[in-house]
Amino acid sequence: MGDTTPFDEMYNPDGSVREPYRVLAQWLDEQKGKALNLMQADAEAIFRKLGITFAVYGSDEGTEKVIPFDVIPRIIAAQEWKELSRGIEQRVKALNAFLHDIYHDQNILKAGKVPEKLILNNAAFCPPMMGVNPARNVYAHIIGVDIVRTGPDAFFVLEDNLRTPSGVSYMLEDREAMMMLAPDLFQRIKVAPVDTYAENLRATLESVAPEGTRGTPNIVVLTPGIFNSAYFEHSFLADQMGATLCEGPDLFVEEGKVYMRTTLGPERVDVIYRRIDDAYLDPLTFKPDSMLGVPGLFDAYAKGNVTLVNAPGTGIADDKAVYTYVPEIIEFYLGEKALLQNVPTYNCTDSDQRAYVLDNIADLVVKEVHGSGGYGMMVGPTASKAMHREFKKKILARPDNYIVQPTLALSTCPTFVNSGIAPRHVDLRPYVLIGDEVRITPGGLTRVALKKGSLVVNSSQGGGTKDTWVLEE
């Protein structure tokens, strides 16, 4: 990891094309004149027509932007995907076992494998969840695992997303757009499909319906409403799986059961795929002033009368400080070594590691423990000296609030930019569904840093997306 030359996923160091990309390279050579420009313009028109936008908070550019899309797909070989999938499945099983333990016997804390105060004093820990038993013992049903690549066989988990991972609609729409834009390429390359995601999501949600549910479970998607940055995705997923999209006021609790208001009268709800943060779910249990949630919802959930997906309190397992213990978590619950490695991480509460961080801050990436979307972070090599000084002060004031990692040479993929085709850094968010079984969609969302040299792939920070092609054997 010391080598700073990024691994190019398409080209070998001698300039030859890597095997998975051979057909794509030939196709790119055949594109005449402005063919890619036209494809790019068509892609933008498709996304604009579909309304695939995200809200940019605090931006001068208005509230909605079309997410940038790159027309050159990223390709992952079948064998690479097989190994990645095994590592992802191991990880999500261990994290669910950890959540069950944390909210029950806390054996991992008693064994001293994870510091007690890191969990019990953590804002993401949810005391009301103690002793609650979710259906099938699944806490995190939908997980996005952020993965970076640094070499032919080197994949690292950057972070786990167990609260309400977003972006899956981009993965699905990216594929749809590519099938319209480059049908000839799909005839040459056998690509694993992603369009079963909505069907798999529905099957997963049905499988975790409360015991005693009669007939087909009634599933709703609970959204904060149209002003949320991911509202497009909430409505898209509800539509795709034939569920009802609703807001807090559409639901009510009576005698410990949840109902939806309809024109034909109240309708019992069995499973709620909620896209609302824990704090706003139920004003009687969490934030009393929440206008987004449903009074009495948590009580109905604790009684086993409704399933919440994901369960409240799952955020403790994707906390950035807890992330550093995931290899130990895997070993503790599964008795196995982690198949996917973490990015090496410095713990600022340790005086020796903190001293190293402060001395080398210009070469490191600093992340706020509860930050997301690229906010609250600093990439040392591209930050100013004033920023270095500011983050040093922040770390000294609150060492427990930051984790620090080396600047990884993230892999690059060919990307169509203003100057033509050029390498740009990418990461990958595969989506995992956990219910009666573990279902992993082949590929996931590839996010690409469109600015030359940039390592920040978040759409909120100027990144875009690519279609991810897992080759079929």
What's the rounded mean pLDDT across residues 65-82? 93
Q: Predicted confidence band at 58 (pLDDT cuts at 50, 70, 90)?
A: low
Angle among Cα 412, 326, 434 to the nearest 5 degrees reads: 85
Residue 51 has pLDDT above 60, yes or no: yes
Provide the mean pLDDT of the chain.
Answer: 92
Q: Which residue is it, tokens 């080197």?
A: 154
- Ranking 195-199, 283-287, 294-298, 398-402 by mean pLDDT, the lowest is 398-402
Cβ atoms within 10 Å of 345's Cβ, excluding its own: 18
**% the chain with pLDDT above 70:** 95
The shares of helix, strand and coil residues in the chain, as percent rounded to the nearest 5, are: 35, 25, 40
pLDDT one-digit tens code per residue, 351-367:
999 999 999 999 999 98
Give the integer Cα–Cα distance in Å for 331 and 304: 31
C-alpha 394/C-alpha 373 separation (Å) is 19
- Sorted by where each starts, the structural domains of the chain and their CATH numbers stand as 19-210+306-343+408-470 (no CATH), 346-406 (3.30.1490.270)
Q: Please give the residue that has the higher pLDDT: either 54 or 105.
A: 105
Q: For 11, which DSSP code?
A: B
Average pLDDT over residues 38-65: 74
Residues 310-351 have pLDDT tens digits of: 999 999 999 888 999 999 999 999 999 999 999 999 988 889
Pairing of strands 271-274, 219-222: parallel
Over residues 409-451, the pLDDT tens digits come to 899 999 999 889 999 999 999 999 999 999 999 999 999 999 8
DSSP state of 339: S
For the entire predicted model, the pTM comes to 0.92
Residue identified by tokens 């050159």 is 72
CA dist., res. 415 & res. 177, Å (int):
16
> Which two structure tokens, joined as six digits, stand for 96?
């669910």
Report the alpha-carbon distance of residue 225 to residue 229 in Å, rounded: 9
Q: Where are the alpha helices (DSSP H) in 230-303?
A: 231-241, 297-302
Q: What is the pLDDT of residue 391?
A: 95
DSSP string, 72-137: EEEEE-HHHHHHHHHHHHHHHHHHHHHHHHHTTT-HHHHTTSS-HHHHHT-TT--GGGTT---GGG
Cis peptide before 347 (omega within 30 of 0): no
Identify any residues that bridge with 257 across adjacent strands, giving them in sequence order: 254
